[in-house]
Structure formats: structure tokens, C-alpha cells
Chains A and B, each alone.
Chain A
Amino acid sequence: MRPLSLVGRVGLLATVVAVVIGIIVASSLVAILSLRSSEAKESRAKDVTVATLRVQTLAVEIQSSLRGYVLSENPRLNPRFLGLLREQRKELPGALVALDKLVVDDPVQLRRAHAAGTELHDYLTDYVDPVITIASVSPADARGPASGQEDKLRQQQIHDSLNEILATEDLRSQRRATHTRDVARTAVIIGAVGLAGSAVLVLLFGAWVASGVAAPLRRTAEAAADVARGDLSVRLDEGGAGEVGTLVSAFNSMTRSLEVGRREMLLQNERLRESEQHKRDLISMVSHELRTPLSAVLGFTSLLLEREFPPDEQQRYLEIVDTQARRLATLAGDFLDVQLLEGGGFELDRAPFDLVELAREQTRLFFSHSEGHELVLDVPDEPMVVDGDRDRLAQVVGNLLSNAIKYSPEGGVVRVYVGVRDHRAVFSVTDSGLGIPPEDRERVFDKFFRGAAKTTTVGGTGLGLAVAREIVTTHGGTIDVESTVGVGSTFTFELPLSLAPAVSA
């Protein structure tokens, strides 16, 4: 799972704390509402109790007034008792209605209130009124024990009914008090636990946020110090909370690109050093190669100037001077060519021309001087047009032909072939010379490499094939050699065929 970002962590923390606080507040509200409704119910219960007691008091007062009337032997007092009784009877319906109103939503209590009302009514109509009538006729009969017994029984019934109402209200009141206490206690517990839990959560979240920031930051700082010391290979473990993860991967990509940059710089330095070394080698090689013919030219010239020689020796030494001076000239030319071709400051003067015609021209040129070799010319009758610098390619062909003549023994065969292979023009020269050992075949195209030729009497600058290779590759062609030691070598170059017709030279 991807680690949460720092903002995400803080957001999650805030959400959880907010939910916990919400739960605390909600449970407190529930507790307060519950307490308030308990209070309302409590006051209604009190009213019911008061109304019930009022009815009970009226019932007792009516009984007392009736007893006073019946038992009073003073006739002056009788009207007073009857007056009281009348007032009490008048009050009774109001008290009953008040009680009914209070318990109208409570069927059980309402039923009890109605029962008490009915019993009171019956008490008044079936007992009180007849007793008053009897007492007005015969007071002694009204005072009989049977009458007292019934009064007690009926009053008891009324009291029982009203006491039931009172008992029920009392019980409910007690239950409500217990419930309210429980709710309050629960609310307090929820609040306390919630606050403690929030505190723990905040601590845990703090630790979580810190672990996602502090440790990666410390590692990054250490790695930055390593980088400052020059160690660019240092990498951090990817990952970590959002922003920290971004920092870590940015750090890694920074060190990666720094390392790549430094590697490239070192590589470039190395290439520069190599190129410098190459140049120094070339200069020292050239100066060495120049010194040999120069020694011969200067030495023989001095001798000819300072000493007397017979004419035939003079002639021979002059010929040596001539040959070596020419060798110097060729060397200088080849060296310039190599420099020019390798430096890239050399432009081909390209035009379509006939390679067959070029081959014929060059073989004619070289073999007119060399009657000691047999030429086998294997070229097609029709023209073969390539797009290239005719003078430069003539130089290549001339170089290959002169090598073939130089390295073939007197009377040896030199085979020249021109043809097409894989849609490319092919030119090859096969000599009947010593052949080139496999280990030297790659190097024959290197500058100043002369292989076994150095030990032979064959002259050369060691630059001809290097120049030839540069010219052919600049034309988009290839040049290579196949050779069998003791049999001979074949040098072949291939060039792209031109689609255009040849421009006559």
C-alpha cells in the first residue's frame, strides 16, 4: 500500500479526533435532553399526585361532614354540616376533571381515575344522599352500625383506587430517576473515555507523522553530506510518506544525473587524452618515418659532395637520393591526406562515373611500367556507374595495384576484377605475394603498419591503405582483405551503385 502523504496523515488525524469529539458532544446532548424530559415528567407526576390527593382529601372531608351531620345531636349544627357537604360536593367534579386532564394520555391511570370518580359518584348517590334522607327522618337509624360499616367499605374502595394512582406515579418517578442517573453516568463515561482516547490517538498520530518525516529526512541529510564529499553513487531507499517520498526520489534522480554527468565528463576527458596521445603517437611516428629517407638523402648528398666516387657509384647514389626524396614526397602527401580525411575537413567531388573505365585506365598506367608481372583483367563489357570522387577512387585503385605489383614476385600474376555483388559495385585486386598472416589482417589498414613488408626490400610509407580505407568509407563503401599465407592476398572494396548515367571524364 502506498504510504499516506503528510497532508493525508494530518487530515486523517483531524477527522478521527473530530469524530471522537462529535460522539462526546452527542452523548452529552442525549444525556441533557433525557434529563430535561425526566424533569418535565417528574413535575407532571407531582401534579398528578397533588390532584389525586385533592380528590382523596375531598372524599375524606365529605365523609367527615356526613359523619358530623349524622352524629351531631345539636340541631343547630346540622345546617352547617350540610353546607360544608354541599360545598365539598360542588368542588368534587372540578377536582376529578383536573385529575382526568392530567392523566388523559395515560390509559391505565385514566381508567383508575374514572373508577375513583365512579366510586365517588356511587358513594354520593347510593350512600351519602340516602343517609341524609334517613337522618332527617330518623337520626338514630342513620347512626346504625350497618351504615358505618358500608361507609368504611366504600371509602376504602375509593382510597384504594386513588392509592393505586399514587403508587404508580411514585414507581414511575423512581424508575425515571434511576434511568436519568444511568444516562448521566454513561454520558460522563463516554466523555472521559473519548477524551482519553483522543489524547492517545493524537500521540500515536504524532509519532506516525514524525516517523514518516524525521527518519527519511535524517537519511537524506546524511546522503547529501556524502554527495558533498564527492560520493555520487549514494542512493536512498525509495518510498516514505508522500512529500518525503517525492523528496527522496528527487534526491535520487539528482545524484543519478550528477553521476551520469561526471561519468560523461570523465569519458570525454579520457577521449581527449586518447586523442592527444594518438596525435603525439602520430607525430612521433611521422617524424620517425621521415627520418629514415631523410637520413639517406642527406647522407648520400654529403658523401657525393665531399668524396670522389667512380661514375657508376655516383649514379647509383644519386638514384638512391632520388628514390628516397620521392618517398619523402609520397609520405608527406599521404600524411596530409590522412590528416585531411580524418579531420573531416575533406570534401568529395562526387559525380557519376564508370568504374570499369577507371579500372582499365589505372591498370594500363601501372602495368606499362611493370612488364615483369602478368595482368589478368576480369571486367564487364558494359559500364558500371558509381557516384563518387573519381580522382580519389583512382588513388585507391592505384594504391591497390601498386601494392599488388610490389608484393608479387617477378612474373607473378595480378588479377583485377570488377563486378556487382548485392547491388553494390565490387573492385578487387589479387596478388601472388607472400600473403598476410591472420593476426596482421586487421592492422594492414592502420597508419604506418607495414607488417612483414618492413623486413623486405619493398618500399612504402605504411599510409597508402589507411588513406584508401578513409576514401572508401567516406564514399559509404567498405574495404577488406582476404589472404592465404604463401599464396597471395585479395583486397576488395565495394561501393553503392549509382542510378544516374556516367558523366564522361
Chain B
Amino acid sequence: MNGKPDGRPRALIVEDEETLRELIIVTLGDAFACEEAEDGDTALELLHRSPPDLMLLDVAMPGKSGIEVLREMRADPVLQKVPVCVVSAWQSPSDVAKALEAGADRFLAKPFRVDELASIARSLVERPR
């Protein structure tokens, strides 16, 4: 793990709905140092500045979609190892397959259970890479 001034892992939350960003931040609580992005381009900018330990990524956003952001990350040697959990309201089998093919580590459907989100976040950060 890198870039943890206060010892906590850093999580980047990419979500266009402000309420849901707040929900995720509150759910992850004090265990993570959270950064927010409301669209794909902002997310990529923050990613390039300093790769986080975990990313929670919405799919349907204005501008770049979550899938496009994920593809760009997986093509980038610096960002290809960042653990990503896609959090989406679009959850048909083909939507899930698209996310996993693009390089998602996990897929979480909206509406999600907050404890499930917390445990996925923990497992992604703690798993050996």
C-alpha cells in the first residue's frame, strides 16, 4: 500500500449522485481516507495524480462511463493493479459481464447493503497482490 499519510488505505469514490457518494463515505467510515469524483474525467485526473488503494466506480455517469474509465485504467501500467469494485444500477447479466471484462474485481448492484459494501472494500484492500 502506498500514499497513506495517516496509515489508512485511500479509497476513490466515483459516483455522480452526491447522496450516494456521501452514503459510501459514511459506510466506509474512518477505516478509509476517501476522495470523491463526480465524473469519469475527474476520476482519471485524481488517479493519475496518485493511485488509490481502492476504487468504487459507478457506471452510468455524464461524460465518460465507468466502463470507459476502467478500460483506460487497465491499459495504464501504473493503474492496472488498482482494485476496482463497480457499483451500478444497471445489473443485467450483460452489464455485469461488461464490467468484469473491462477489468472490474467485483460487481455490486444498487441498491446495495452497506455491510456488504464495507466487507468488499476491506477484502479488496487486504487481499495479496
Interface residues of chain A, those whose CB is within 8 Å of chain B, are 284, 287-288, 291-300, 302-303, 306, 317, 320, 323-324, 452, 454-455, 457
**In the complex, what distance in Å separates the CA atom of A296 from the CA atom of B39?**
19
Q: Which residue of B lies closest to A302 (CB)?
A: B114
| With A288-B90, A455-B38, A455-B62: A303-B114 Cβ-Cβ less than 8 Å | yes
Bound together, the chains give a CA A287 to CA B111 distance in angstroms of 11
User: For A295, what are the chain B residues with a Cβ–Cβ distance below 8 Å?
Assistant: 20, 23, 89, 110-112
Interface residues on chain B, number (Cβ under 8 Å): 23
Which of B18, B38, B60, B112 lies in contact with A288, CB distance below 8 A? B60
Q: Could you tell me which residues of chain B, from 9 to 32, have a CB within 8 Å of some CB in chain A?
A: 16-20, 22-23, 26-27
Check A302 against B113 for contact (C-beta < 8 Å). yes
CA distance A297 to B26 in the complex (A): 14
CB contact under 8 A between A317 and B26, given known A288-B89, A298-B111, A303-B114: yes
**B45 near A: Cβ within 8 Å?**
no
**Contacting residues, chain A, for B6 (C-beta < 8 A):** none
A-B contact pairs, 11 of them (CB 8 A): A284-B92, A287-B89, A291-B111, A292-B17, A293-B19, A296-B17, A299-B111, A299-B112, A303-B26, A452-B62, A455-B62
Residues of B within 8 A of A297 (CB): 111
Q: Chain B residues near A284: list those with CB within 8 A.
A: 90, 92
CA of A296 to CA of B17, assembled, Å: 10
Pick from B26, B90, B112, B115 the residue with the most CB of A within 10 Å. Answer: B26
Scan residues 99-129 of chain B and give those whose CB is less than 8 A from a CB of chain A. 110-115
Give the shortest distance, in Å, between B121 (CB) and chain A (any CB).
14
A296 and B27 contacting across the interface, CB-CB below 8 Å = no
Main secondary structure of the interface of B (DSSP, over half): loop
User: Judging by beta carbons under 8 Å apart, are B110 and A292 in contact?
Assistant: yes
Bound CA–CA A293/B63 (angstroms): 21
Q: Contacts A299-B23, A302-B113, A324-B19; is A454 near B90 (CB within 8 Å)? A: no
- Beta-carbon nearest neighbor of A452 in chain B: B62
List, in ascending order, chain A residues with CB within 8 A of B114's CB.
299, 302-303, 306
What is the chain B residue whose CB lies nearest that of A299? Answer: B23
Check if A302 sits within 8 Å of B115, measured CB to CB: yes
A298 to B23, CA, bound (A): 10
Closest CB-CB distance, B38 to chain A, in whole Å?
A: 7
Q: How far is the CB of B39 from chain A (nearest CB, A)?
A: 7
- How distant is the Cα of A480 from the Cα of B89 in the complex, in angstroms? 32
A324 / chain B contacts, CB cutoff of 8 Å: 19
Besides A295-B110, A299-B114, 5 more A-B contacts (Cβ < 8 Å) are: A284-B92, A288-B90, A295-B111, A302-B113, A455-B38
Q: Is the CB of B27 within 8 A of A299?
A: yes
Residues of B within 8 A of A302 (CB): 113-115
The chain B residue with its CB closest to the CB of A313 is B26
Bound CA–CA A455/B113 (angstroms): 25
User: Is the beta-carbon distance between B115 and A306 smaller than 8 angstroms?
Assistant: yes
Contacting residues, chain B, for A457 (C-beta < 8 A): 18
Asked if B110 contacts A454 (CB within 8 A), the reply is no
Which residues of the other chain, A, contact B20 by a CB distance below 8 angstroms? 292, 295-296, 299
The listed residue (B22, B60, B113, B115) touching A320 by CB distance below 8 A is B22
